[in-house]
Every structure is written in structure tokens, then in C-alpha cells.
Structure 1
Amino acid sequence: MSTSYFFSSTYNESNEEVSLLYGLPDPSVLSRVTANESGFVQMATWQNNQNAWVSLFFPNEPCDHYMHCGGNCVCDPYQLGEFECQCLPGYEPKVKSEWKSRNAINGCTRKPGQQFCGNGSSADAKFIKLTSVKVPDTTNAIGNRSMGLIECADLCSKNCSCTAYSNANGDNGGSGCITWYGDLNDMRKYSNGGGLDVYIRVSADELAQYLKNSKGFNSKKVIIILAASIIGVLLLVCAIRLALRKRKGPTRNRKLPSFNIDPVSSYEVTPRKDEIDEKGDIHIFDLRTIVSATNTFAFANKLGEGGFGSVFKGQLQNGREIAVKRLSSSSGQGVEEFKNETTLIARLQHRNLVKLLGCCIQQEEKMLVYEYLPNKGLDNFIFGMRHSIFFGYVVVAN
């Protein structure tokens, strides 16, 4: 029913016997197989690195155990979160109280009041096809190698005691005929095309209800697929737009959401000193205001530079002197780092720290605007450097 990288199997069938031979592709592997009284098949291999036998137990799924779900059931291990035992079409749990507690040992029985045999003609017989299943136990079955599937269906239809039929061999489109009489035992579901197709005898009413439920299920499936496809397309569009937005960089007049931002677009009026100290607000400067204040970032106004970029001295229209920290495009500092630095400095307003007056985020520019310190930075007094490098939050002398 399934393939394995560990061992190979060979199936042989004749008029005298049926055999299944297991072998190991690698002759250097030492292996042994035993069966215990509970029906478990144990396969052990010798591991040189552990100097011991390592065991593998079969079966490894509940549905592999014989009669795990009782009679007239099919065991489906792929029902995630659901009871693996399901009654066959036209059947219902024999003991419903046990079924609710996930105990299917007593299996299922025919639903009452069903008329599925009619007058014995093949036209009155109805069957539901179960695909990719392990055929029922063949204790109560009859096989015929010379019949095809159509002849097999006609044979079962004319016999009221026949409960199911199937091909005897699923290879090359199927051949032979197997018909079952009485309970259908030890069936399970397979995936990936394993197993055979089995036709279960049902009443006309049961077939009509089954087809109705199948159509409803298919409609719901189509709706779910369409909804998932639409949602997937919308998510893809959103992801593309987000990627394009990040590639373009900050847009014009982009605001930082984590600050209290002054709605004015340019810094024309000097705020009161106590207003800056108490609130710690920052202002958004217009790019034209910064360009005008620094004389288009003239070299004569350059105070210093570092890995982040350059610092320029400027003067606003109201006469206030400022220091503009202009982020270099090659600094590697992105929007998040820029926001973090702005947040830190804005919240650490202190009389011994240089004050952050505002920022400018426009087009490809990211700049911080500080108050201008005419006495240079603390590093100049400590190290005696002729040209100090401006640090945005350096401690200055009183």
C-alpha cells in the first residue's frame, strides 16, 4: 500500500497461494522481524555505533490495526482533529453513546427502513463509490479473475445479499472481480492514490442524499478557494506597494508619529524657551527653510562631519542660529535609526545637553535641527582638537 526507503516488497499471486515477500535493498544491513501476541509487527536493525538493536514498530497508525473501527466503518487517519472512524454510506453507529466517546469497537449497522434491494433487478441497485481505500476483509468475499468491473457490478446488483464490489487488481485500469456478502470489515482510507475503489450498496434515498451533500461540499469548496485567492491577491498587492514605498524612501513632508509635531510647515517664529524645556516638542522644518538658513549647505557654514554625515551652521529668518545635522545617503542610517535618535534626544531635554529644535524629512533628505553652540563641543575642551566633530547629544560646558 505504501513505499519505503528502508525495505522493498514483492507480491506474488497464483491459484495455489498468495505471498508478500519483504527484503532489504542494502545487504549490509542486519535486520529481524517478529510478531507478538497482540498483532504488533516489530522490525529491528543492528546499529554498530550504538552496539544494539534499534526497533521499529508496525503498525504505526491506529488505522493499521485490524478492526480498529469495527464493522461497516472506514478508518480515515487524515481527519485532523476529528474522529478517524466513519460509518460507511447507508450505515449509522450501532451504539451511539460509545461513538460519542470515540469508541467504535462495535462498528456501524444499516440505517433502519432502507430498501436497497428492490425486486432484484440491476436497474434498482444503487452504489456509492469510495476511492483509495483498503478493501474489506475477504473472509466473506468471492473472487473471479475472468470478470471485468462492469460484469462485476451487474453480478452484485442482481444479488440482494451482495453489499459491495471492487476490482481484484487495481493495476492498469483494474481487472478481476471481488464481491462481498454481509458486514464490511477492516477498511481504511489511503492518500496519494493508494488502495482500490470500492462500491458500497445503498438505498436510492441514501444515494440522493449523498449526492446532495457532495454538491454542497463542492460548492463550499469553490467558495473557499475563490475567497482564499482574492485574499492572496490583495495581500500580494499590499506587499508590492509596501516594498515600492520602502524603495522610494520617505515621502514629502513625512511625519514621525511618535512625536508631538507642530503643524506649521516652516519655522518662522521662535518658541519660548520654557515652552521647549517643559513639553519637549519638536517642529517640522520645511526643506526650503533649511536650505535658505545654511546658504544651500555652503562649505563656509560647515561645522564638522562624521560617519552619519555633516553638520552645518545656519540662521533662520528671525535671526536664531541653528546647527543642522544632515544625514548622508551613504551612512547606512535608515528611517528607523533616524526616528530612534530623534526620540531619544527629544525626550532627554536638559540644560547640559544640546537642545533638539526639530527635524526635516523631505524628498531624500533626513536632517536634525539643533540649537547652535558657539563654544563648540565638550570634546574640544577635553582633547584640544582644532576641529571638533559635532555630536547630537554631547554634554556642553556651562
Structure 2
Amino acid sequence: MTLHLCSLLVFSLPQALQSSTIDSITASSPLVQNQTLVSSSQIFELGFFTPKGSAKQYVGIWYKKMTPSRVVWVANREKPLGHTDQSASLTIGEDGNLKLLDGRQNTVWSTNVMAKSNYSEALLSDFGNFVLQDRNENIMWESFDEPTDTLLPNMKIGVNVKKGKKLNLTSWKGEDDPSLGSFVMGVTLETPPQLFTWNGSSPYWRSGQWDKTKFIGIPNMTNTYYDLQQDNVQGTSYYYLNNYNNSIFGYTFISSKGSVKSVYWTNGWLTYWKAPAPTNPCEIYGICGPFGVCNPFSSPMCRCLKGFKPRSDEEWNRGNWTRGCLRKMELNCQKSASAAASTTVEKDMFWQMRQIKLPDSADHLLIDNVEGCQSWCLENCSCLAFSYVNAIGCMAWSKDLLDTQQFSMGGEDLFIRLADASAGVPTRTKLIISLSTISGIILFGAGISVCGLSKWRGKFRKMTIPRLFTSEELLRDTAWKDQMKEDDTSNLVVYDFNSIRLATDNFNVENKLGQGGFGPVYKGKLNDGKEIAAKRLSSSSSQGIAEFKNEILLISKLQHRNLVRLLGCCIEEEEKILVYEYLPNKSLDTFLFDSKEKEKLSWSVRFHIIQGVARGLLYLHHDSCLRVIHRDLKVSNILLDEKMNSKISDFGLSRMFEGTQVLVNTHKVVGTLGYLSPEYAMGGIFSEKSDVYSFGILLLEIISGKKNTSSDYPGQHLNLLAYAWHLWCEDKVLDLMDEGIADAFLVSEVMRCIQLGLLCTQDHATDRPNMLAVVLMLNGESNLSQPKQPTYTFSRSLAHEVPSQEESIRSMNTITITTVEGR
């Protein structure tokens, strides 16, 4: 997901604006045009403003110190003041209400609430909420209950049926006109809920269904903070960004042209996600009509679903698809209603579509398994399609399938009801089970196949193959089959389970080397005397067969002295084991973060380790037959041989690419918090520069001997990166060094490494060097530029800190893999 500078409203303020600020509005202390109301931590500001090019004046709220500024709330959007009205004021009236008065003391805008007295006070919170409260600090009115075009953190939009109240965002009429525009954004009350934007009363865009962590119709929306709470008993659905500790600076707004943008602050306003995307007309609601599916990469982009044809060929050929498609053949269940009793009518079929933005108007059924969902749909002729999403459950469609889109990544499985046997698969087959089950069985079989196609040097015992699939079905993953045709796995050995069990003394705990996200790792010795490290998939593993497959495919193709070497695999019944070369010094963290063992890491040893990791990454990114992004580089994944040579390990989360592809979007962020680059953690965007960021954190940890996620840095700094930046600014950067190596080192080498660590952890990927440049810089063959301040370098005492991240990651810098998904 490419980050763009968001379009910002330019506005001007009265010349005297900066003359004074106030902290509250009372009857005796109104807000006048030479003043602004500022929140206690100086985050938000409220005052009079005039949009650029406009002759009208408004009262609004904006972020105080983040420029260019943008108004996020407007009081009198439908009743502006004249630009020349310099006597207007915002005050507390005799009835206790907050009132905007023009120069003639006429009420232009008011809160209009029942107030018991005129002893009221208006305050602006650090969350951007403008609040009217009584003498007992009871809130009588708040701006969060009257949103304009912007959703701030901790603010809600949604619907309350019992109260008959809707909290929607309504666009500005134009860039210089805050009055009500034609686009509205809100939340539906259906189950599961969806975000919608409407142009007038017509749907313009929708998010897809909420799966308790994210909207499944936005495949590149990686959610960390957003939440949607629905209470069917109370009749409420509310969408909001949870920012209880005020660690996030950003907002979501709907523009005057109908686009929804979520932006956040990181040395400038950057777009987190935007919809509908200007490059994807398929995101416009219902563009292909009923029973049509849109694919922006196809020509034409609209086509009819399987078993359907254009309602009008003439219109379809002209590119007018809005009337959609109609069914070619009547459903068998429809025929059976009029068929004679003696007539045997075949059952309908289901056609499976993958990676789909599911259609609108789904009915949610209280069925907790895919088989039951399928059976219900089959027995109800009104059911035209169904889908089972693990986090949602069973959804069925009885209305026209509208606003369906084909994704290139993400999406869900949709099963279309058809009568033609040649168009579908029999409903009795076990193939239409949940996507996770399909993937697991396919990959299990594929794992067997990779070892089976190798030139075996070990014995192969009889393995149990799931009976649900034929051999052809086991290999129907095209990418997997293509890779198997190559001979790059020919050096792998397929070990039988008994040989691994004997080698590890029945997986004796005394032979356990560590515990990763995949499972435990054991030291072993084979009959020929060769020492091995056996990584055994655990039933409670946070990873699984996909990572198992990934390791086999990747490491068998990669050969470099700074990468761990995979010797073979074992797949027998429920056992899945990877067999590696044994490295006697285990992983880097066993030395680096141990007060006694770290003494073995002199500066020369540490610099040697750093250089080895850099060379390994350079090979992965540039020199190998496949371009590989590791995605989980950290100290526990750096192994050390007997000569303390560093070797990168654990490729279960890695991704490989061909050609010049450098930027990828993912709907699932994986890795370890503290090592994730900002664009990956917040936007799901990963590239080679994501590994560079992780390398920068790793470099600073090796120099300091401290964990990035530790919470005991001097001066209450948020993390190691914050502390390093502070020392850099104070010209005390050598204070970062581990005390154990402070007496024997080359100053120029250490300084170069610290500066390089800061360069590798720049916020913007484009500001980070690639690994070729990193290796040159490490060797002193290239000059280093000056680093910029990273975002997450604020003190805990400041409002700009991110305290929630600290609690999340305090114990994550371990051998355990963390999978970061939407909350």
C-alpha cells in the first residue's frame, strides 16, 4: 500500500490569533477572535478560521503543532460568519449553553442542551473533544457526539436504533466550503456490520464485512487499533479508533469527492489507507451490476459470474455493466417445485471462487461449521450463494449478488449455486470445507511431495496421506508444483522419524536448544556421527505447515556461508521436522543478553557478527537465485558456529520474489514487535527495506548489549532507538556501547555502526540504505549521510509517546515468533 501525502485543507486565521490562548470558556471568559482554546498538552487547538479563498468565517478544531494543519471539526458549518465580522465570540449563555454570537450578539450556533444553570464551562481535551460540563464536571454536550467530516481517535461513528441516533461523517461541500456535502460515511447495523459511504441516498463504497479485527473487503488494511463493537440487544454498532493513552496522532475523514482516508502523523501526514482507491474503479459500489464480478487487472474489468450471462450484450459491449447479469440455466431446486413426483431432479452444485470481496446484503446464520452452512444453503432454494469465514461464521445470500470483486491477494471463498454439473463440484464432496482446512491438507501433501521428489539419501517409511485428495489434488498449488520441478531440493535428505527420535534421545529435554514459534529445537547425533538440530512442529505452534513448506523451498535453494544450512526433513503421520546443521554456539541472544556470556563478545567479535549478517542479507536481497525478504530478522534468529560466524536462520515467515518486485502489501503482518518497520507494522507494506529496518535495530542491540524493547533506559526513553537518538543529538553516542567492551574498540568503527543503525531505522523506507550500501558503509567504502529523527523516539513523559507499544513488546524479543494481526 503506497503511502501518499494526504490532501490537506489550507486555511487562514485572523492576524491576532497568536496573541493569546485560554484553557477554558466560561460566561465571564468568552473566546474572541484574538484567542484560541488549547488542550492541556498543547495537542489540539480551537478558534476562528477562514478557509483559503473563502469570505466566510467558522469556529473549528485542528492539531496545534502538526503542519500543514487541517480542520477536524467545525461548529457552524451551515451558518458561517462574515469574514469582516471581527466582534464574534464563543461564550456561555444565560441558559448554560455554549453559543457562537456574531458582532450583533445574534446566536449563530448553540449546543441546545438542557442546562440547570449558567455555571458551565467548555474545555478542549487532548483527544480533540470539545466538552461542555456543569459545575460538577458532568458532561452536558461534546463535539464527539456531533461529528463533521472527521473521525478522531476515541471518537465513534455508528448507529443506535433504540435512541434513533446516527453518528455519521458528512463531507465538506468543497475544499473551501465546510457546509454539508453530498457524501456520508457510516456503519450499518447488519451482522456483521460494514462501513459505507453514500452519495446522497445511493451507496458509493463499502468496506466489506467486519471479521472482529478488520473489514474483509479491504485486503491491504492492517488493523492495529481500530475496533467495531456491535450490541444487537441494545441495537448499536460503533466504529472507532482506540487511543486511550493518546499515543496515536491521526484521523479518518471523508473528502468532498467521496474518498475515505485514514492518515497518521510521522514527520508529516501520511495516508494509511484510502478508499475507493483512484486507481481501482472496482471499488465503486456495484459497478458491474448484479451477478457481475469486477477485476481491475482484467480487460474488460467486469465479467459475469460462472453460470450467468450479460443482461444486455449491447450494453455490456459498450462498457455499461450496471444492469449486470442473469442466470443461464434455471436452478434444479426451482425445477423440483413443479416436477412430477416420479421425476428425479438432480441437486444443485456450488462453484467455488477464491480471493473474493464478498457481495453485499449477506444473511448471517448461527451455524458454526462450513458443512452446516453448505447444507442449509442447499436445502433452501432461495439461497444463491454462501461463504464461511472463520471469524464471522456462516453467511448466505438470497438477494442479487452485488458489489463482488476479485482480489489479487486476501479475500474469501464464495460458493455460487449453479444447476449445471459441469460448472461446479458435487455438494456431497468434502472439497468445500473451510479454507484453512483446505490449505493445511494441500500443504501437508505438498510437504510430502517436496521430499518425495528429492534425490533421497535416507530411508523413507510409509506415510499416511489424507484420503480426501488424489495425488493430483495434492499438487494443485501451481506455484508449489513449479518449484518442485526444479532440482534445487536435490541435496535434501528425507529422514525417518525413528532416526530423529534416536538421534535426540527421544527428544530429551536435556537436548533442547530452544523454543521458537514453530516449535522446540533439539540437538541430536545421527548414526554416522553427524550432529544436527531438529526443529519439531508443535501442535500448539503459532506457525504451521505453511512455514514448514516455506523453509524447505527457501533454504534448499539458498546457499551462503552466512545462512543456516537445511540438511533435510521428516514427515510421518503427524510429525513434521526440519533438520539443520548443528551450530554449537546456539543463537546470538544467548550471549548478548546474558551478563556472563556477553563477556565473550568483544567488539571485534560483534563487528564480525554484524558484517556476517549484512552479507547474508545482501545475498538474500541481491545475489541469490530468488530475491528473499526475511521478515523476522532478530537476535534469536542469528545463529553462531564454533568460530562465532553468524548465520541467519528461521525462514518460515520469509517471502520470495522474482525480477524487480520491491514493494508488497499483505493483510497479515508477521514478525516480532520492536523489529517491524513503521510501514509494515502500520500499513502491511513490506519490502527489502523492512529487513533493513530490522537490521538497524539488531545493530544497535549488538552494540549496546540491550534489548530494543527494554523499559529501563536512562531518562525514561521509550526504547533503544529513542535512547540512541537522544545520545546522537547530545553528541554522546559512545555512551550507547555495552560497558563490557568499552575498553577495546575502534572509535571510528563504533561511530560508523551507530550512525548506520540510525540510518537503517529511518521512518521512510526510501531514506534507508539498501543492503549493498550497508555493506559498503560497514567496510568504510562509502560515506554515511546524516540520519533524521525516527518517530518513536519521544520520552515517556511527552504526549507524543507510544506507551501501548511498550507493554505489547516488552517480552517479545525472544526466540518466539510473534504474529501481529488486527486486534
TM range (shorter): 0.3 to 0.5
Instruction: Mark the structure with the bigger radius of gyration.
Output: 1
Q: Which has the higher contact order (CA 8 A, sep 6+)?
A: 1
With the length of structure 2 as denominator, give the TM-score of the two structures: 0.23
With the length of structure 1 as denominator, give the TM-score of the two structures: 0.43
